[in-house]
Structure 1
Amino acid sequence: MNVWSSLALIALSAASAHQSADAAETRHVEQQRNSDGSRLQLTTTVDLVRQQRHFSVELQIPGQSTTSTVLRHAQTLIDAPNGGATLSDIDADGVFELVVRSFCGAGPNCSYTIFKINPTNTTATRWFEGGYAQIKPIGPYLVTSNRSSCCSWSHRVLKTPKTGRAMDANDTIATIEVKAPTGSGGSAQCKIQATVQDEWNAVVEQTPKLLSLCETYGTSVVITSPLSSR
């Protein structure tokens, strides 16, 4: 084999290795703008060779050309087969959170970790851990919703813990179970179970919109709750 053939083989091998490396690693970039003008960039890199998924969040302050890395997080593809991440303003305060999904069940319910990003001091803290199909704020509370079965939903009303730990199921002040009507013209059944009845009564008086969670299947609903015994 002459030297030109050898060089051609080396070049071909190098090109093949480069293509293999590209195929073994994928990258996705998402950008969002906060209400204060700061910008966030989430880069998700999937390394098929090491079987890992990496997330990196960069923050750019208005008027600055440089960015700061506020968060790095990683998953293994084995432990988080349905893993992924996105930027979403979960609590509707104008600043996007990092929402990291790890795994999902047979239905729409998945397990998540949510990090709250603070553009002022360029930090990120673990804010929520738990599972849900839907999540939204109602007043000062965070509500997670899971599909319990084909014909029922379970809503969990959470309050922010007094300590700096992440919010989880231990911060539940009430669960709201809603079952679909069983027949034509029937009403849905909504059962509210409060952790502390007196506290829930006060909560509903201050945030009556929470009772709209009973209307998962429409406004025709029979409600059983701590309020019923007042």
Structure 2
Amino acid sequence: MSVERALYGGQSASSDGPVRRVTVNDLAAAKVRGERWPMITCYDALTAGLFDESGIPVLLVGDSAANVVYGYDSTLPVTVDELIPLARAVVRGSSRAMVVADLPFGSYQASPAQALETSARFMKEAGAHAVKLEGGARVLPQVEALTAAGIPVMAHLGLTPQSVHTMGGYRVQGRGEAGQVLLQDAKALQSAGAFAVVLELVPADLADMVTRSLAIPTVGIGAGATTDGQVLVWQDMAGLTPGQPPKFVK
């Protein structure tokens, strides 16, 4: 009888036997058994190796690289050509973690065809295992097209930094009636084929409701403690970013 390894801190590159990548099925199984897990941002091979050895199951090559790698003042300017080399380095530096690549602003919103072209580049040129995009109902055609093409998609609701100007700044999302809209968006994204949903800066009770309503994992950032996973920008977690850190970084 085989013993199921824990998702977080499970088989590392130094373990005996062959190392295999974490898959969407592993994340789904972790939700079923109630195991919570971390996802952390990563932008280079050395850091990827360290996080991989520590048992982090999912590494996100986030568009936050715009701020912490390239020095932009928001995530909006970063391009596909700037993110692909970072994603390639993270894939090379890790052996177990699933590597998820953010689709940057302007690289998928226009159409499902644009989203497919961008995602294919991340899969082929960087070796990414999944992509992440922001938005609810407006990106359902993109999610459906990508999953139909065999590309795993992580969705992102709540505060979506690529839309920060239309949201009136970095503030909590999903209060009042907006919470029901977010819940319906989450269910629609699940139906469209997303394998997980990031919930950023939403009330903890809403995040809990969404988590309990979905069969796929939720990943929280500033969304309380009951989501299936938690994600942070590692430089925020380490106290390396200037200024006041976000309240949810502890």
TM-score (norm 1): 0.24
Q: Which has the higher contact order (CA 8 A, sep 6+)?
A: 2
